[in-house]
Amino acid sequence: MISRRKKLAIYGVWLAIWPLAICIVYNHTSLSLRDYQIDITSFIILASIVALFPLLMGNYPVFLTNGVSFAAFLYFGLLVEIIVFQVAIIFLMVKLRIGKADFFRVPLNMVMFLVISILTASLYNALGGEHGSQALNSGSDVIPVFAYVIGQIVVNQIFLQFLSQYLYGRKRKKMIDQGMIWELLTTLCIAPIGFILYFVYTKIGSSAIYLIGIPFVLISITLRQFYKTSQVNRYLQKTGDIGHELTGSLGVQDVLDVFVNRVTKLLPIDYMYIFDVTSNHSMKLIRFYDRVYQTELPEIDLIEDQSISGDTWKTGKGKHYNSKKKWKHLINPDTPENVESVLSLPVTRQSKIVGVITIYATRHKAFYKYQYMILNILSNYLAVAIDNAKYYEKTKIENERCPLTSLYNYRYFEDYLQSIADDWRNNKGNQPVSQILLDIDHFKSVNDYFGHKAGNEILCQLARRLEAVIAERGVVARYGGEEFAVILPGYSSQEAVTIAEEIRQSVNHKSYVSYEHILSDNQPQNIDVTASFGVASYPEHCEDLLELTRQADRAMYIGAKRQGRDRVASYEKLKQAAE
């Protein structure tokens, strides 16, 4: 989105440069325009018709008018070339249906191509180039002509690089990109026609413009159609790549991340909204994209008929608008203010709408029919990918989590410890790793007296207390039965002892409540339990990180259980006592 200040600057530059430059070029031209009114008008008409068939590459259209203006330049000189090209630019802008918000592109392109014309004409003249019927009389005349053609391409690309970075804030990764390749290819196709147009015109006059103009227009139409076909094929290939990437082992959030990242690079999107249908009457925003500000996910809940997304959900049909005037009746407070073009598509799974994707662009006519088709295909990929991701997450949780306490299970704990050990072996680990092992004291007696369901209640409540104490500091797992383990990456032995003491106090400071006990009294029972703790650290207490659990287990049983329970024991003190 171009700021108002930048737009005003463009208009100011146009007013300062364009009229003055035209006057200077006119005053330095010896050619009498009145003598060639019909011929110059014919060149303008041909160039304007060709301009109606541009190759649209994002914000930058490539049009083949330079072939006509090239012939006009060779015969008439700079002034006529400028007139031909500047009028063609106006026809191009009409073809692109530039709206009020983007009208600044008219003076921007007029100034840009005016400067290009003056610079390349200066290069041509500096190399000894001539005009009129003497322009190509000898082989040496090829040098300034070649420099003129290549100079236009290079200077144009430099301008585009500048505008992309400093006007649109989109830095181009490389100078030789698809736009420059297409401009080079089209120039190679059009330049010979420009030469022919020049040579025939020198022989038969203005009738040559219409004689050569017909194949000129046909080439423009053919190249435009070829480019559109190649674009569709490129989009379909990238769409297939995105679909393949979404089929990987990903969670729901990972799927959304991949989808948004890839689609926003594929399509000219300024805003994206992805909604999930949460009930029969509402849907919730689950992913938001803002190209400029990258704001946090807003809290948006919609019902049917609210905004264009709600209307898409209600009707079950996609929407494609190129102007805000056509969909302003669907605007709501959450609709971006500066948008014009919009695509909105339902996400369906098994003939049922499960979500809505809506994308916006600030430009008029930003999206084409084939891009609507592409987004439709991608929405189907997304529906399947999210469904697979939910199943993957469910399976992953079942494999990694204890079904009773929802803590990580023994398998996950062992794999996590192994991954840390691998990092150390690969010289990626340089921080200590500590482990706390705890076991509930006399838990068998609790189960015998209150029943196993009461014991399960205690295990679940204890799990929540462990999570509350550890939070983001480490990983908590149910190691087996009434035994729990905590891994603390980056914590020393002394720090782990302090944390273990925090857990011990959390375990016994408040009774556990059982509602499913086996006592005859149906009232909830308060049950007090304690736990014994063992702490060990790597590399302080063992040479292999996988031995950490054994050392923590020794500290717990010898240093805590045998010493009266309800206490924290460190392997460090156990080792000192043995020595």
User: Does residue 439 share a domain with residue 389?
Assistant: no
User: Does residue 420 share a domain with residue 367?
Assistant: no
User: Does residue 433 share a domain with residue 371?
Assistant: no
DSSP for residue 167: I
| Total of domains in the chain | 3
User: Does residue 423 share a domain with residue 347?
Assistant: no
Note whether residue 479 is domain-resident.
yes
User: Does residue 277 share a domain with residue 200?
Assistant: no
Domain boundary among 396, 422, 456: 396
- Residues 318-331, mean pLDDT to the nearest whole number: 90
State the residue for tokens 């990764």.
173
- Describe the chain by its helix, strand, coil percentages, rounded to 5: 60, 15, 25
pLDDT band at 150 (very low <50, low <70, confident <90, very high): confident
Contacts of 319 (CB under 8 A, 6+ apart): 308, 311, 312, 327, 342, 343, 344, 345
Residues 170-228 pLDDT 10s: 665 555 656 566 667 767 777 788 888 888 999 888 888 888 888 778 877 887 787 77
CATH of the domain at 519: 3.30.70.270
Please tell me the distance from the alpha carbon of residue 504 to that of residue 561, in angstroms, as a whole number.
Answer: 14
Give the gyration radius of the chain's Cα atoms: 37
Note whether residue 333 is domain-resident.
yes
User: Does residue 209 share a domain with residue 74?
Assistant: yes
Q: pLDDT at position 463, please?
A: 96
Note whether residue 529 is domain-resident.
yes
- Residues 143-154, mean pLDDT to the nearest whole number: 88
- Residues 227-231, mean pLDDT to the nearest whole number: 78
Please tell me the distance from the alpha carbon of residue 77 to that of residue 131, in angstroms, as a whole number.
Answer: 6
- Least confident range from 67-71, 127-131, 221-225: namely 221-225
Please tell me the distance from the alpha carbon of residue 131 to that of residue 124, in angstroms, as a whole number.
Answer: 10
Classified as helix, coil or strand, 286 is strand
Note whether residue 312 is domain-resident.
yes
- Residues 144-159, mean pLDDT to the nearest whole number: 86
Q: Mean pLDDT across the chain, nearest whole number?
A: 87
Q: pLDDT at position 44, please?
A: 92
Note whether residue 405 is domain-resident.
no
pLDDT for residue 63 is more than 90: no
Domain boundary among 210, 236, 262: 236
Q: pLDDT at position 179, please?
A: 58
Contacts of 148 (CB under 8 A, 6+ apart): 70, 73, 120, 121, 123, 124, 129
Note whether residue 243 is domain-resident.
no
Residues 3-57 pLDDT 10s: 788 889 999 999 999 999 999 999 988 888 888 999 999 999 988 988 888 766 5
Contact 474, 486 (CB under 8 A): yes
Contacts of 260 (CB under 8 A, 6+ apart): 272, 274, 287, 289
Token digits of residue 305: 């008929």
Q: pLDDT at position 64, please?
A: 72
Q: pLDDT at position 231, please?
A: 79
Residue 466's nearest CA partner among 439, 426, 492 is: 439
Contacts of 82 (CB under 8 A, 6+ apart): 22, 25, 114, 117, 118
Domain boundary among 396, 431, 455: 396
DSSP for residue 326: G
User: Does residue 331 share a domain with residue 416?
Assistant: no
Note whether residue 241 is domain-resident.
no
User: Does residue 338 share a domain with residue 228?
Assistant: no
Residues 246-297 pLDDT 10s: 887 788 889 999 999 999 989 989 999 999 988 777 899 999 999 877 667 7
Q: Is 481 left (phi over 0), alpha (psi -120 to 50) or beta?
A: left
Note whether residue 384 is domain-resident.
yes
Q: pLDDT at position 523, please?
A: 92
pLDDT for residue 164 is more than 80: no
Per the confidence metrics, is the pTM higher than 0.85?
A: no
Residues 77-104 pLDDT 10s: 999 999 999 999 998 888 877 767 778 8
**Which of 127-136, 235-244, 264-273, 448-457: highest mean pLDDT?**
448-457
Which H or E element spans position 569?
Answer: strand 568-570
Residues 376-397 pLDDT 10s: 999 999 999 988 888 888 888 8
Residue 276's nearest CA partner among 256, 296, 247, 250 is: 256
User: Does residue 368 share a domain with residue 285?
Assistant: yes
What is the percent of the chain with per-residue pLDDT over 90, rounded to a whole number?
Answer: 47
State the residue for tokens 């029943």.
451
User: Does residue 437 share a domain with residue 571?
Assistant: yes
Half-sphere exposure of 559 (CA within 13 A, CB side): 25
Which amino acid, 437? L
Please tell me the distance from the alpha carbon of residue 379 to that of residue 360, in angstroms, as a whole number.
Answer: 16
Torsion angle defined by CA atoms of residues 365, 367, 369 and 371, in that order, rounded to the nearest 10 degrees: 170
CATH of the domain at 376: 3.30.450.40
Residues 421-437 pLDDT 10s: 988 888 777 789 999 99
Question: 357 or 196: whose pLDDT is higher?
Answer: 357
Give phi and psi for 301, each to the nearest 5: -120, 130
State the residue for tokens 């990238």.
238
Q: pLDDT at position 172, please?
A: 55
- Residues 142-161, mean pLDDT to the nearest whole number: 85
pLDDT band at 119 (very low <50, low <70, confident <90, very high): very high
User: Does residue 417 share a domain with residue 273?
Assistant: no
Q: Kindly list the strands in the beta sheet with 283-290, ordered across the sheet, starting from the edge strand earlier in the chain.
A: 301-302, 283-290, 271-277, 352-361, 341-349, 319-321
pLDDT for residue 565 is more than 80: yes
Q: pLDDT at position 578, please?
A: 59
User: Does residue 526 share a domain with residue 379?
Assistant: no
309 is in which domain, residue-wise?
252-396
Rounded alpha-carbon distances, angstroms, from residue 195 to 113, 280, 407: 21, 67, 77
